[in-house]
Amino acid sequence: MTVRAEAYPEPLEPYEEVREELERTWEQPPGLWHWLRSVDHKSIAKRYIVTAFLFFVLAGLEAAVMRAQLSRPENHLLGPDAYNQFFTVHGVTMMFLFAVPIMQAMGLYFVPLMIGARNVAFPRLNAYGYWVYLAGGLFLYIAFFLNTGPDVGWFGYVPLSGPGFSPGKRADVYAQSITFTEIAALAGSVEVIVTVFKNRAPGMTLNRMPLFVWAMLIQAFMVLFAMPWVATVTQFLAMDRLVATHFFNPAEGGDALLWQHLFWFFGHPEVYIIFIPALGFVSSIVATFTRRPVFGYPVMVLSMIATGFLGFGLWVHHMFATGLPQLGQSFFTGASMMIAIPSGIQIFCWIATIWSGRPRFTVPFLFVLGFVVLFIIGGFTGVMIASVPFDQQVHDSYFIVAHFHYVLIGGAVFPLFGAFYYWFPKVTGRMLSETLGRWNFWLFFIGMNLTFFPMHQLGLDGMPRRVYTYLPETGWGDLNLLATIGAVTIAISMVIFVINVIVSLRGGVLAGDDPWGGETLEWATSSPPRPYNFPYIPVVTSRSPIWDESEELPVVTGLRTDVRDVLVTTLLDAEPDSRHRHPIPSIWPLLTAIGTTVLFVTLIFTPWGAVIGTPLFLLGLLGWGWPRGRDKWEQQLVESEA
């Protein structure tokens, strides 16, 4: 049982034979039953991406309806009741069902490919995470269509969301749908951390990891530290509402501000949880399309880590108007400004990369250029509202709406679309149309600015957020109409994107393994990758393995192909450590997720939900972990030892 991690000029076994056996071992047969049991990271990540994109479209439609309502003063398209549900579901969807999951899904797809692994570390947990996420999303939307959509804002401030002011089950749906997505996010982050730490290809030391993998690793750690807070605080809310606890009741020693502290202690890192993966996309795209590695690798990594740490020290800048002491607030001003420094460094490094490289103006690269422009604007307004006095003026006004849409759309969605165009050939084997892509980019860019730039002015003119209408005398009508026109432009650009995807899937240009001339390992395998990712696990000798190896990549041999055998390497230096028997497909993650769903959904109606749901959930875990006897690999091991 030795693992040889040396470069072999020729594979030891005949290549075709190895491939065929790997196919048999790792294959996922067609059919619904096998689809439900799948544990392949690519197929699960694809589901994640498609589902999250559908939620993105739904949330975008909600935004479009809201923009239509606000296009003129005293409009009667939506009443306050419907509008409050629309803006809440829009926010919850974008944050919990689109942004975080899709970023994690991109990581779950590409991290194993970039580090030369066969799959993620805990593939069944991965499947479970997806099913729980899907259940949470369906739960929210079924509730929404039944007029039980949350109407308390994605931030759900108590006491408005508490038992006294939110009758019915709307706020419970809010609290519980967040719990679903938190569990999925935590599962995803555990996947990424363990996969990155233990499954890297031999030779890929930490300082040879692609920046994208670093970004996903840092994001996963942030998820691990941030998400439990929101899961806790929403459970406090659910308990206040269901079993009359008094966490947030000032009359009983609770505190309404407790919610805000706990929520924003999650809520601010959340922004960076969404943004840091985007840094990874940008770094990958910039490197490929300037044909050089990103300038200042150590600085980039350190600044991402700095962002990850500082992100946890800013939460009070969401609470500057609550009347906290002045001195304490100053610290958070300082921290909020400090976080601009790593972001600035990253932008300077990319500009340096572009300057010294040879840029190719493909669609992914255009999205990166758009990202830099939009993100700088969002960053500037971010520095402005780090200032306590100025924030107290524009806090909860449309200025803030403008700010965070610049940061989140400019800073995360633009890189995401760049990443879609960049990696689409890898995932599907076909190229997206560059012409349609340019239309998509320019309409999105123009529409984005048309929609959100006027909102800065609206905020300075005193328009508060989360209003379902406004009076004609306020004079906010014209700029709102402009914003609505911008929203229509964005919608058109999205339609073009969807058309582009459909056309490409039906008959796009075949991509080949490496259409862009990429830097990292995912371009070393076929497009789309086979279920086992690489016929032979590559050996990495530099940061840009494909560019630096003029001939074939060196590979690992000695892994079994007749069973699901994966290589475990050491944390720092990625030296081969041991081999690991990889789980086979299973239906139990899905069944456990259904148990979890029963538990969570019944819990919003009665405390007996715990009694009904917990056994189902435990039953799922029991089936999941039930010993199934030895397979031939283990049998051989036992025999050889005996």
Partner 1 sequence: MLGLCLGIACEREERNFQGIPPSASASMPPVRESELQPGPPTRSAPISGPYEENAYGVSQGKTLYNQYNCSGCHFQGGGGIGPPLMDADWIYGSRPENIFETIAEGRPNGMPAFGRKINADQIWQLVAYVRSMSGLLRKDVAPGRSDDMQVRPQEQSTPKARPVHSALPPASERQ
Partner 2 sequence: MSAAGSLLTLVQQSHSVLNPAGPQTRMIDRLWDAMYLTSIVVFVLVVGALLWSAFRRRAIDDPPQTPAREQSLKTVVAGATGLTILVLLGFLVYDVAVGRQITRNPGAQALQIRVTGHQWWWEVQYRDSIAKDWATTANEIHIPTGRPVALELRSTDVIHSFWPPDLTPKRDLIPGNVNSLWFRADSAGVYRGQCAEFCGQQHAKMGFLVIAEPPDRFALWLARQRDTAQTPTTDLTRRGQEVFLGSTCVMCHAIGGTPAGSRIGPDLTHLASRRTIAAGTLPNTRGNLAGWILDPQRIKPGTRMPPNQLSPADLHALLAYLETLK
Residues that bind partner 1 (CB under 8 A): 79, 81, 135, 138-139, 142-143, 146-148, 159, 162-165, 167-170, 240-242, 244, 246, 249-253, 594, 597-598, 601-602, 605-606
Q: Is 228 in the site for partner 2 (CB under 8 A)?
A: no
Exactly one of 224, 261, 359, 481 binds partner 2 (CB under 8 A); which one? Answer: 359
Q: At what angle do helices 256-290 and 340-356 cross, to 10 degrees?
A: 10
In this complex, which beta carbon is closest to partner 2, that of residue 473 or of residue 639?
A: 473
Least separation in angstroms between residue 486's CB and partner 1 is 31
Quick one: what does residue 462 bind among partner 2, partner 1, none, with the CB cut-off 5 to 8 Å set by partner type? partner 2
> Nearest approach, Cβ of 160 to partner 1 (angstroms)?
11
> Is the bond into 529 cis (omega within 30 degrees of 0)?
no
Q: Kindly identify the residues of this chain, within the stretch 72-101, that bind partner 2 according to CB under 8 A.
A: 79-81, 84
Contact 565, 151 (CB under 8 A): no
Q: Smallest distance, Å, CB 76 to partner 2? A: 10
Among 29, 323, 517, 607, binds partner 2 (CB under 8 A): 323
C-alpha distances out from residue 187 to 45, 132, 540, 568, 610, Å: 13, 10, 28, 20, 22
Residue 517 is a binding residue for partner 2 (CB under 8 A): no
In whole angstroms, the minimum distance from the beta carbon of 97 to partner 1 comes to: 15
Show Cβ contacts of residue 538 under 8 Å, excluding neighbours closer than 6 positions: 116, 201, 521, 524, 545, 553, 554, 555, 556
Q: Which does 244 bind (CB under 5 to 8 A by kind): partner 1, partner 2, none?
A: partner 1
Candidates 54, 68, 77, 160; binder of partner 2 (CB under 8 A) is 160
Stretch that binds partner 2, among 92-100, 202-210, 338-346, 565-573 (CB under 8 A): 338-346
Q: How far is CA 278 from the centre of its chain?
A: 9
Q: Give whole-number Cα distances, 165 to 84, 85, 269, 403, in Å.
A: 14, 15, 29, 30
> Is residue 305 near partner 2 by the rule CB under 8 A?
no
534 phi and psi angles, rounded to 5 deg: -130, 135
Label residue 404 exposed, middle or buried (CB < 10 Å: 0-12, 13-18, 19+): middle
Residue 361 binding: pick among partner 1, partner 2, none (C-beta 5-8 Å cut-off by kind): partner 2
Residue holding tokens 């007029």?
A: 147
Asked whether position 322 contacts partner 2 by CB under 8 A, the answer is yes
CB under 5 to 8 A by kind: which of partner 2, partner 1, none does 160 bind?
A: partner 2
388 is a contact residue toward partner 2 (CB under 8 A) = yes
Which amino acid is it at 60?
A: G
| 348 forms part of the interface with partner 2 (CB under 8 A) | yes
* Binding segment (CB under 8 A) for partner 2, from list 42-50, 358-366, 429-437, 516-524: 358-366
- Nearer to partner 1 among residue 141 and residue 532 (C-beta): 141
Q: Give the Å distances, CA to CA, from 517 to 104, 363, 512, 586.
A: 25, 15, 11, 37
**Phi, psi angles (nearest 5°) of residue 174:** -55, -55
Q: From the list 269, 277, 313, 357, which residue makes contact with partner 2 (rule: CB under 8 A)?
A: 357
3-state SS of 127-159 is: HHHHHHHHHHHHHHHHHHHCCCCCCCCCCCCCC
Report the alpha-carbon distance of residue 26 to residue 118 in Å, rounded.
9
- In the range 544-573, which residues lie near partner 2 by CB under 8 A? none
User: What three-state secondary structure class fits 555?
Assistant: strand
Nearest to 372 by CA among 343, 399, 400, 398: 343
Residue 242: which of partner 1, partner 2, none does it interact with, CB under 5 to 8 A by kind?
Answer: partner 1
Shortest reach from residue 447's CB to partner 2, in Å: 19
Identify which of residues 135 and 335 has a Cβ nearer to partner 1 in the complex.
Answer: 135
Q: Please give the Cα distance from 497 to 374 (Å, whole number).
A: 20
